[in-house]
Structure 1
Amino acid sequence: MTIDTAAELPVRFAELKQAIAKSYPDFEQRITQAWKEIIEQLEEFSKVIQKEGSSYVPQVNFKDLGALSEEQIAKIRRVGTVVIKDIVDDEHAIAWRESLEKFVKDNPDVQGSPVGDKQFFELYWTKAQVQARSHPNVLAATVWLNQLYHVKNEKNQPGGVDLSVSLSYADRFRIRHPGIWNMHPPHVDGGSIERWEDPNFRMCFADILSGNWQKHDPYDLEGRLNAKSSLYGRPSQSSVFRTFQGWLAMSETGPNEGTLKVLPDVHLSTAYIILRPFFRPLVSPDSEGIYDPKNWEIDLTSSRFPGIFPRDGGYGGPQPTELLHPHLRLGATMTSIPKVYPGDAVFWHCDVVHSVEVEHTGNAESAVMYIPAVPMTSMNLGYVERQKRCFLSKERPPDFPQGEGESKWVGVATVDDILSDAGKVAMGFA
């Protein structure tokens, strides 16, 4: 008797599994061996993280980005997350927070959540946000992150990409109060079922699906540039290629103060999540035997993709849970980032499992602006052009839930608030 509590998706997803299996030689044999190896390494990895905690997450200074050692860069690539300190001066970041607080006070009807205690705001075009996105240091940091990517096979060198130019992707901000917040459990952004369903996106994980999981390169551009991360047009599903997602701190925020948590090994976690739909457990999820790879069998007949679920006319996830993804040992491996200060930023690879701490036990607000790293590609340029029209009319950006725009609010940004020439390029004005 098999045991699996993941949701059944439409039958075509069982057929998708079977089609994927047929496209790789000796699929069942190879991924069974890979599954065993990944599980064994995840167990060892969890022991390391329990010992090192937040200190495992790399921290570097903005001024040192051009002088990091190969060892430091390799650690950043493997972890998939980095804290870049002092990107902007403290006073700039604090002034932006004060500006956002004033904007919300001057415009009390702006939408935000939770209802009755707004902390996460559906705002995109305030002066502070536009200024932060166009700050030359912020753009320089995202260019550095973009350039961590490369092409593994030079014969497949893609055209239409310039990693030395960073584009602007308008997102929101939060000013979180102390207390409980259940809004962001462990998840991966930038594509849901699309990771398996879209052929280009699936190409990013070809080494994993072929059983050669150790050769998987999260920074290989092949497949990324044309991957369709939003096949269903679901609100809040990014349709652009973000090399790293990120936020800029506007306050001090440390562990247990409502900060970001990550699973700090993008290679291992991605390999596990991509192969998870092809296996089902033979024992109860609450059994100790659930961790033994011998108690799992190949599943090519069900339509289950654990962690993927119907949502808003499309699909949400991947959203790993301790029940459905036991070997990730999320209770042990989800790690709070180290303490940050105003002007510091945190960036995490687009495949990193991340969440927000449920409980904020500190005494002060935790304030951040979401600013990702977005390289110049043909697809991304097309989005920026549509986004520019939204900026000029003060409508919400194309990827986000549509609703009342910001044209009637007091203190909305104009083109004059773009701080740099690079910022004008990033926003499609040059």
Structure 2
Amino acid sequence: MKDEKQRSQRQRLSSFVPGDKVYVAEAGRGPSQNSSPNTNMLRSRFTKASPALRRCLATVQTPKPAPKRQGDISDSFVSLSGAEQTPLPDRFRQLKLELVRGREKDIVLSWQRLLHGLQRENEIIARKGPEVIPQINFADLDNGLDRRVKGEILKRGVVVVHGVIPEREARGYKTCIEEYVKKNPQTRAFPPHDPQVYELYWSESQIKARSHPSMLKLQRFLMSQFWWSPSVNARISLDVPLSYADRLRIRQPGDAAFALGPHIDGGSVERWEKDGYGRGHVYDKVFEGRWEQYDAWDAAARVDAVNNLYNGLGACSAFRAWQGWVSMSRVGPEEGTLLTYPLMMSTAYTLLRPFFRPIDNSKKGRAFLDEKNWEFTAGDQMTSDLQGAHPGHGQELNDELHPHLELSRTMTHVPEIKPGAFVAWHCDTIHAVDKVHKGQADSSVLYIPVCPVTDLNAEYLLRQRQAFREGTPGPDFPGGEGESKHIDRPTEKVLWQWTNTEGRRAMGLEQLAVDNSAMPGARAVVERFNATLGLH
């Protein structure tokens, strides 16, 4: 407990003044001569703040990421961008050796247990198809969740919530976007000759959907009912959703260009790196050979994790507890919709797969997948491979690299969706889109992740708020002028007319309310959030 408290007190608040250094005003020491006026102003503000805030001044600031070049969604993935897949440097081989050193036997035994579990669960998924995806109605949220349904959502890592936004309103979002694009033909999209995914972040429809009272209510529910923290001092609040500006998709019938296969967002090689997810010890149980004890819903472990070490185009640097989208059209399986591998157990397999290789590649079917055909690559046999993971890109999976997931038969469509429904999936869930849109109408969604209050997310929102004011893409996305010159781009003045207090708080435009009944860690992180964004 003492160590945890000390770590909390050393927490970085690195983005109060991007580019400036911040120094601790220790007893008997005045402001550093290197401090800027803005830094000294912040120090003065914190001197008047609570003792907890004063103790949390950072000694070092993370350098502001370099500006990103222009691009589109294809730049986020090797398979879409056409980037060369070169072998990873030898340091990844050494990293792998360090991760399992002294635990080799435990890892092998855990791998065998994992393969047995996957085989059993894959049969269930393949047999049930879309029926395996949990579904709930937004109107029923106030009544609480049935224990069985909640258990399925925790196990599957995906849920469909029907009726979040009125159907007519959700359909209107698409019409408004189409008019916006028509007025601004310079809007970037993928693919350029036949747009399916637009580089839009600040359209009227996106802002209204993100700040819709029902959307914020659902986001609070998804965070507080599924994610949890084992410590009262955890530096996270799961009761306040923050707005994260993402893209949108209007996929036309017959499209096969946006054929994004199975992948995981939130980084790739970072999952194994000590300065990545290792900072939060997120996956320690898996690397100890005890994957059954790994808790995918432990929010505290994610607070210090770093998802984006390489400043990739589209790589996520914020903590998005859930990814999600709200539909603007009616769409069913094979109609350009979402597929997931609906089993949280997949995370353990993804992490352990690089430590094993097949003995006989000529075997087929079950004989190839059998545990006896797979050996641990210890010592000199270890390679640098992290199947499907490449720095600066999302992690991609397929049958060749991850055969025990049997993705060709277990990637499962979400059930039929109406406009206004919201689909949410855990940030580690494997997901994809239909290779070909076989429907008769467009498949259109607004991507809206679910983000809690953390110091990292406050830092991100500070930069995102500036991007909104300038009309440029959010910090995680390809750069350039974005919508800065777009006709009818919503202004901050108009936004205040559209949104209520909660919606503006989510965007970092109004001060978050401090709940004195909240846990100490949650209360303190909300106070730091307000200070980071200069909200009084």
TM-score (norm 1): 0.93
Question: Are 2:167 and 1:100 aligned?
Answer: no
Question: Are 2:250 and 1:175 aligned?
Answer: yes
4+ aligned runs moved over 4 Å, structure 1:
none
Please state whether the residue corresponding to 1:316 is helix, strand or coil.
coil
Question: Are 2:424 and 1:344 aligned?
Answer: no
Which one-letter code corresponds to 2:228 in the other structure? H
Question: Are 2:491 and 1:410 aligned?
Answer: no
Q: 1:367 to 1:96 in 2, by over 3 A?
A: same
Equivalent-residue separation in structure 2 for 1:285 and 1:197 (angstroms): 33
Q: 1:46 to 1:159 in 2, by over 3 A?
A: closer
Judge conservation of contact 2:472–2:484 (CA < 8 Å) in 1: yes
Moved more, 387-396 or 107-116: 107-116
Judge conservation of contact 2:259–2:434 (CA < 8 Å) in 1: no
Question: Are 2:207 and 1:130 aligned?
Answer: yes
Q: Equivalent of 2:451, from 374, 380, 387?
A: 374
Q: Equivalent of 2:499, from 415, 419, 428?
A: 419
Question: Are 2:138 and 1:59 aligned?
Answer: no
Question: Are 2:444 and 1:363 aligned?
Answer: no
Please state whether the residue corresponding to 2:396 is helix, strand or coil.
coil
Q: Which structure 2 residues correspond to residues 17-56 of structure 1 after superposition, within 5 A?
A: 17-22=96-101, 26-56=102-132
Which residue is equivalent to 1:221? 299
Deviation at 1:286, TM superposition (A): 6.2
Equivalent-residue separation in structure 2 for 1:58 and 1:232 (angstroms): 35
The C-alpha deviation readout for 1:64-104, integer Å capped at 9, x for no partner, is 12311122111111100000111110111011111011111
Judge conservation of contact 2:276–2:307 (CA < 8 Å) in 1: no
Judge conservation of contact 1:121–1:173 (CA < 8 Å) in 2: yes
Equivalent-residue separation in structure 2 for 1:330 and 1:194 (angstroms): 23
Equivalent-residue separation in structure 1 for 2:291 and 2:233 (angstroms): 23
Which one-letter code corresponds to 1:39 in the other structure? L
Judge conservation of contact 1:247–1:347 (CA < 8 Å) in 2: yes
Q: Which structure 2 residues correspond to residues 15-414 of structure 1 after superposition, within 5 A?
A: 15-22=94-101, 26-66=102-142, 67-147=144-224, 148-151=226-229, 153-154=230-231, 157-179=232-254, 180-199=256-275, 201-202=277-278, 203-266=281-344, 268-284=345-361, 287-288=364-365, 289-300=367-378, 301-309=382-390, 314-414=391-491
Deviation at 1:198, TM superposition (A): 3.2
Which one-letter code corresponds to 1:78 in the other structure? K
Which one-letter code corresponds to 1:186 in the other structure? P
Equivalent-residue separation in structure 1 for 2:427 and 2:362 (angstroms): 29
**Percent identical residues:** 38
Equivalent-residue separation in structure 2 for 1:193 and 1:260 (angstroms): 24
Equivalent-residue separation in structure 1 for 2:453 and 2:175 (angstroms): 32
Equivalent-residue separation in structure 2 for 1:182 and 1:407 (angstroms): 26
Judge conservation of contact 2:341–2:412 (CA < 8 Å) in 1: yes
Deviation at 1:199, TM superposition (A): 4.8
Judge conservation of contact 1:8–1:302 (CA < 8 Å) in 2: no
Q: 1:200 to 1:111 in 2, by over 3 A?
A: closer
Judge conservation of contact 2:308–2:316 (CA < 8 Å) in 1: yes
Question: Are 2:90 and 1:11 aligned?
Answer: yes
Which one-letter code corresponds to 2:90 in the other structure? V
Deviation at 1:38, TM superposition (A): 1.1
Deviation at 1:316, TM superposition (A): 2.5
Please state whether the residue corresponding to 2:395 is helix, strand or coil.
coil
Which one-letter code corresponds to 1:17 in the other structure? K
Q: 1:215 to 1:400 in 2, by over 3 A?
A: same
Judge conservation of contact 1:282–1:295 (CA < 8 Å) in 2: yes
Judge conservation of contact 1:43–1:327 (CA < 8 Å) in 2: yes
Please state whether the residue corresponding to 2:238 is helix, strand or coil.
strand
Larger % of strand: which?
Answer: 1
Deviation at 1:379, TM superposition (A): 0.7
Which consecutive unaligned segments of at least 5 residues does structure 2 have? Answer: 1-84, 511-536
Please state whether the residue corresponding to 2:241 is helix, strand or coil.
strand
RMSD: 1.5
Deviation at 1:211, TM superposition (A): 1.3
Which consecutive unaligned segments of at least 5 residues does structure 1 have? Answer: 1-5
Which residue is equivalent to 1:429? 509
Which residue is equivalent to 2:44? none
Q: How many residues align?
A: 414
The C-alpha deviation readout for 1:16-74, integer Å capped at 9, x for no partner, is 0111113xxx5111111111111111111111112110011011011212311122111
Moved more, 404-413 or 184-193: 404-413
Judge conservation of contact 2:237–2:452 (CA < 8 Å) in 1: yes
Please state whether the residue corresponding to 1:123 is helix, strand or coil.
coil
Instruction: For CA contacts below 8 A with separation 6 or more, give which structure has more relative contact order.
Output: 1
The C-alpha deviation readout for 1:371-421, integer Å capped at 9, x for no partner, is 010001111011001100010011111110112221221121222234221
Which one-letter code corresponds to 1:363 in the other structure? Q
